[in-house]
Structure 1
Amino acid sequence: MPHTAKELADDIGVPHEEIDYLVAGINHMAFYLKFERNGVDLYPLIRKVMEEERVPKWNRVRYDMFRRLGYFVTESSEHFSEYVPWYIKSGR
């Protein structure tokens, strides 16, 4: 979880030391229910990364799940896709 928080902080240009988050889930299905800096919700900045098409190529699955569910998954895109087989198809 801390690794993903740092990646997200880098994506939105916020120092990772200033991020507060709350995560819930089980095993490899955990999501950031809260992702904030000084009490300010940072999810709008994460959405902006998608709007500006700045999603890192290696992180597309997690951003797509965020778009669909409204919460960002903590597991890596590669590993998370093993639990959501829709993503593991020829040509994707």
Structure 2
Amino acid sequence: MEPFNIRIQQNDKDVTLTVLPEGNYFKLIYFGGIIGAIRESNGAWELLPEEEIEPGGLPFYDYKKGLIDQPELTLNLPKINQIAAEIENIIH
């Protein structure tokens, strides 16, 4: 599957993420860096531990080096579910 972009809401702003399908999970790219990865497991979506993510030449995103106007994303359960819903809309 080819990489694709999704749009989500963060603090009332539209945020675009690039989604890179990678084996049994999806890497989430934000401004050229990996902010995390999620996978579906037994009908629910979960965040992968950072050590299970194969970077493939991409850096992990560092908010301290980001632009001031970039909304900081926290990959909590509601955000993971929002991202998962957007991914499901594209892959199904």
Identify, as 1 or 2, the structure richer in helix.
1
Fold-level match, TM-score > 0.5?
A: no
Report the TM-score when normalising by structure 2. 0.30
Identify, as 1 or 2, the structure richer in strand.
2
